Amino acid sequence: MTDLAIAANGLRKAYGDKTVLDGIDIQVPAGTIFALLGPNGAGKTTAVKILSTLVSADAGTGAVHIGGHDLAADPQGVRASIGVTGQFSAVDGLITGEENMLLMADLHHLSKGEGRRVAAELLERFDLTEAAKRPASTYSGGMKRRLDIAMTLVGDPRIIFLDEPTTGLDPRSRRTMWQIIRELVAGGVTVFLTTQYLEEADELADRIAVLHNGTIAAEGSAEELKRLVPGGHVRLRFTDPDAYRGAARDLREVTRDDESLTLQLPNGGSQSELRALLDRLDAAGIEADELTVHTPDLDDVFFALTGGADVTDQTDLTDQTKETVR
């Protein structure tokens, strides 16, 4: 398995008659960050659970190697080489951060002294030393996530699965998490992360796979994915609702955002394309209050690949409820 930390071929999983993963291939070179990108319900957690031996793929499908171990023949070997931080926290709120860490050390059969040393070191590394003696239920969302990752690192895994590590975090905690993930990889660890955020995949991942309808709709570096979209877009913002509605009616091929009174049109942003657009606006008597030019970003890729509608429509309320309960 040369230098692939994760190699999966034709991974398939159905629940009842609902196909969640319809034969996906994943290859993650050792020491890199791989992002599985998709909206709620796309099958990200299912993929993580299969790859981390928590759920079995459908019989007779696919071959998976993790850290050189065959998932079907040697699940123990796989388990020994990975760490998993789930979408929903493994932190026990009733005991302190330190006690959570020591519990993990016990699970990994570290001696008392070694366990204390590793726990102290990781708590320090994730800026939790001061909070170590407080019940974890008193921690902020960001602190809980940091503790969760610290717990995953007790066994010193070389391959780490992070299922939506920043969902629900405030922007500052998100940046801290990104920094933590970069440091992990700098230390030689391989990271498989899932995210709903294009920005996050763009920011962190060496390779990104877009999960859509049970298959990988596209795969590549952020740059490669962006090249799939021929051009960027122009946004026109209005302050007068009537002017907005009129413009939306007159212009074809626009994406409307009725709340912010903004129209989005495909446009490559070159001088000639912009001039053509301005001429068109003038001819139609349309005057926007603001015009901005956007080069293609991962959002454009996602919309191009998935036909647009899915990203915000598929809000999974059960997930959000769980988030607030924990």
Q: CB-based burial of residue 268 (10 Å sphere; 0-12 exposed, 13-18 middle, 19+ buried)?
A: middle
Q: Residue 81 Cβ, how far from ligand ADP at the closest point, in Å?
A: 23
Nearest to ligand ADP of 26, 119 (CB atom): 26
Nearest to Mg ion of 41, 135 (CB atom): 41
Nearest to Mg ion of 37, 229 (CB atom): 37
Retrieve residue 263's tokens: 């129209």
Residues between 200 and 219 with contacts to ligand ADP, criterion CB under 6 A: none
Q: Residue 88 Cβ, how far from ligand ADP at the closest point, in Å?
A: 11
Instruction: Compute the Cα dihedral for 174, 176, 177, 178 and give only its sign.
Output: positive
Residue 262 binds Mg ion (CB under 5 A): no
Q: Taking CB within 5 to 8 Å according to partner kind, which of ligand ADP, Mg ion, none is near residue 223?
A: none
Residue 195 binds ligand ADP (CB under 6 A): no
Residue 38 binds ligand ADP (CB under 6 A): yes
| Short-list 85, 55, 68, CA closest to 7 | 68
Q: Kindly write out the interface string for residues 40-59 of this chain, putting x where it contacts ligand ADP by CB under 6 A and - elsewhere.
A: xxxxxxx-------------
Tokens 């801290």 belong to residue: 176
Q: Kindly write out the interface string for residues 2-41 of this chain, putting x where it contacts Mg ion by CB under 5 A and - elsewhere.
A: ----------------------------------------
Nearest to ligand ADP of 42, 118 (CB atom): 42
Residue 108's φ and ψ, nearest 5 degrees, are -90, 10
Q: Residue 211 Cβ, how far from Mg ion at the closest point, in Å?
A: 11
Look at strands 190-195 and 33-37 and give their pairing: parallel
CA 63 to chain centre: 24
Nearest to ligand ADP of 43, 97 (CB atom): 43
Give the other-Cβ count within 10 Å of 138's Cβ. Answer: 12
Size, binding site for ligand ADP by CB under 6 A: 10
Reduced to 3 states, what is the DSSP secondary structure of residue 90?
coil
Residue 314's φ and ψ, nearest 5 degrees, are -90, 55
Q: Is 318 left (phi over 0), alpha (psi -120 to 50) or beta?
A: alpha
Q: Could you tell me which residues come within 8 angstroms of residue 40 by beta carbon, excluding any fewer than 6 positions away?
A: 196, 314, 315, 316, 319
Q: Any idea of the CA torsion for 235, 241, 246, 249, to the nearest 10 degrees? A: 70
Among the residue ranges 38-46, 64-72, 104-112, 138-146, the one whose residues contact ligand ADP (CB under 6 A): 38-46
Judged by CB under 5 A, the residue of 85, 87, 152, 166 near Mg ion is 87
Residues lying near Mg ion in the complex (CB under 5 A) = 44-45, 87
Residues lying near ligand ADP in the complex (CB under 6 A) = 15, 20, 38, 40-46
